[in-house]
């Protein structure tokens, strides 16, 4: 196990509201596993450190709690997305406008996609 992986494992073992069972973290939706894996991969590539991630995620959780967010951990992976977005913007790898434009494109693609079909950005009628 690499240092990054062991740092992440230690963070996951801490007393946090991460959904878990006896085997480790569990995910209610596939996108949660994807954002989890993305964070692990970016951290292992050195895009940000374990400390930077912990600081960013902690800040998002504190902000959400102060604003009345879920205290039961059910919005935990939304905080992961927010923390990741802010870190990537801070590192100059993304912009607020770029993130917003991509989110809008996904929303339009979802609206234009027939039920039961995969949502693809190519389905965005404005793309």
62 with 108, same domain?
Answer: no
Same domain for 124 and 111, yes or no, is yes
Residue span of the structural domain in which 18 resides: 3-94
Kindly tell me if the per-residue pLDDT of 45 is higher than 90. Answer: yes
Q: Is the pLDDT of residue 7 over 60?
A: no
CATH number at residue 79: 1.10.472
Based on the fold, state whether residues 53 and 76 are members of the same structural domain.
yes
Residues 6+ apart with CB under 8 A from 27: 19, 33, 36, 77
Rounded alpha-carbon distances, angstroms, from residue 76 to 65, 68, 84, 112, 126 = 11, 13, 13, 29, 32
Asked if 101 and 62 sit in the same domain, the reply is no
- Predicted confidence at residue 3, as pLDDT, reads 53
Judgement on whether residues 63 and 99 belong to the same structural domain of the protein: no
Q: Rounded CA gap, 53 and 84, in Å? A: 8
User: What's residue 18's pLDDT?
Assistant: 62
Average pLDDT estimate for 56-80: 88
Q: What is the pLDDT of residue 19?
A: 66
The verdict on pTM exceeding 0.75 is: no
Q: Is the pLDDT of residue 2 over 80?
A: no
Can you tell me the distance from the alpha carbon of 91 to that of 83, in angstroms, rounded to the nearest whole number? 12
Residues 83, 103, single domain; the answer is no
Q: List helix spans (H) across the chain.
A: 3-13, 30-44, 50-66, 76-90, 96-112
Does 87 lie in the same domain as 57? yes
């Amino acid at each position: 196990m690499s240092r990054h992986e062991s740092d992440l494992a230690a963070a996951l073992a801490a007393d946090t509201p991460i959904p878990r069972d006896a085997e480790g973290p569990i995910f209610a939706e596939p996108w949660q596993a994807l954002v989890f894996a993305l964070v692990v991969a970016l951290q292992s590539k050195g895009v940000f450190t374990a400390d930077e991630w912990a600081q960013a995620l902690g800040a998002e959780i504190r902000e959400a709690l102060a604003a009345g967010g879920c205290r039961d951990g059910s919005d935990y992976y939304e905080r992961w997305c927010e923390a990741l977005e802010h870190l990537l913007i801070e590192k100059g790898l993304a912009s607020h406008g770029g993130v917003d434009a991509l989110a809008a494109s996904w929303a339009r693609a979802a609206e234009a996609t027939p039920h039961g079909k995969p949502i693809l950005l190519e389905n965005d009628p404005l793309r």
